[in-house]
Amino acid sequence: MKKFVTGKKFAHISIASLHWLAQRTGELFCSQETWYKYVKVFEWKRPWKKEKKEIKKLGIRAKSPNEIWHIDVTEVSIAPKIKFYIQAIIDNFSRYVLAWRVTSDITAQGTVETLKLAHQKSSELLNTELSTEVMMDPGKENNNGKVIQFITSNNLRRTLAQVDVHYSNSMVEGLFHALKNRFLYHQKVKSAEDLLRKANFYFEQHNNVVPLAVHSGGKPIEVYKSTWNDSEKANLQENKKLAILARKNKNRQPPCESCPV
């Protein structure tokens, strides 16, 4: 079996076909499941040379809130031939979703409106002057005069993903992937208003309720407003240690009272 699996002579033949070939030549009679079993047990490798491409797993990362925003739009179908769009802006550093809108089409004016909402939300929460890089895809709703005019007049900078830089717009794409696969696909969306209510619920939960592993348990709103600091992280770790100690002490106690002699 090892000769068949690891031999260069048989490198072009699948395991399933090898198990039949061995029987046809009269060298080995056993089931296909047995072949797979022993290939796994002995960790036999097929004689192929695989060239692995270098993949950059870590995307662009900001060092503070409002340094980089990501804007994108995703399509949501609620019935055959009935679809709507959700456009959102997420802060790179905190993962805080600054703005979102549900629309029936994709337009330049829609992108401007979403940027206005994000600009207003940022001013409400931090009240600091913006000097933000806005990363977007080179679609027609982004690459136009209206969007450029709004960005330049509000001290923002536009960056086209995979055009001006080699990075993709994966952070906001990941947000939409989670929105759809963890929530929307498990809901029955009846109308645009219903989709807006559900999107509002999910983004509010994402921003204010759900702790993120990337922030070591911090919520996006806490990271965006810089209230999630080393002290809060230390308190969380201390509570974890106390819980482990309490669990150990409980497990060391006898399961019941001692029986009388």
pLDDT for the residue 54: 64
Angle at 221 between CA 219 and CA 222, to 5 degrees: 65
pLDDT of 261 reads 65
pLDDT of residue 51: 67
Q: How far apart are the first and last CA of the chain?
A: 64
- The rounded distance, in Å, linking the Cα atoms of 238 and 246 is 12
pLDDT for the residue 102: 96
What are the residue ranges in the chain where pLDDT is below 50?
none
Taking CA atoms, 189 is separated from 79, 83, 180, 186, 203, in Å, by: 9, 11, 12, 9, 16
The pLDDT tens digits for 157-203 are: 999 988 888 888 999 999 999 999 999 999 899 999 999 999 999 99
**pTM, to two decimals:** 0.75
DSSP element (H, E) containing 196: helix 192-208
Residue 92's CB is within 10 A of a number of other CB atoms, namely 23
Structure tokens, 98: 């600054």
Instruction: Show the CA angle centred on residue 138, arms to residues 137 and 140, nearest 5°.
Output: 115
Task: Write down the pLDDT at residue 256.
Answer: 75
Q: Report residue 98: phi and psi, to 5°.
A: -80, -30
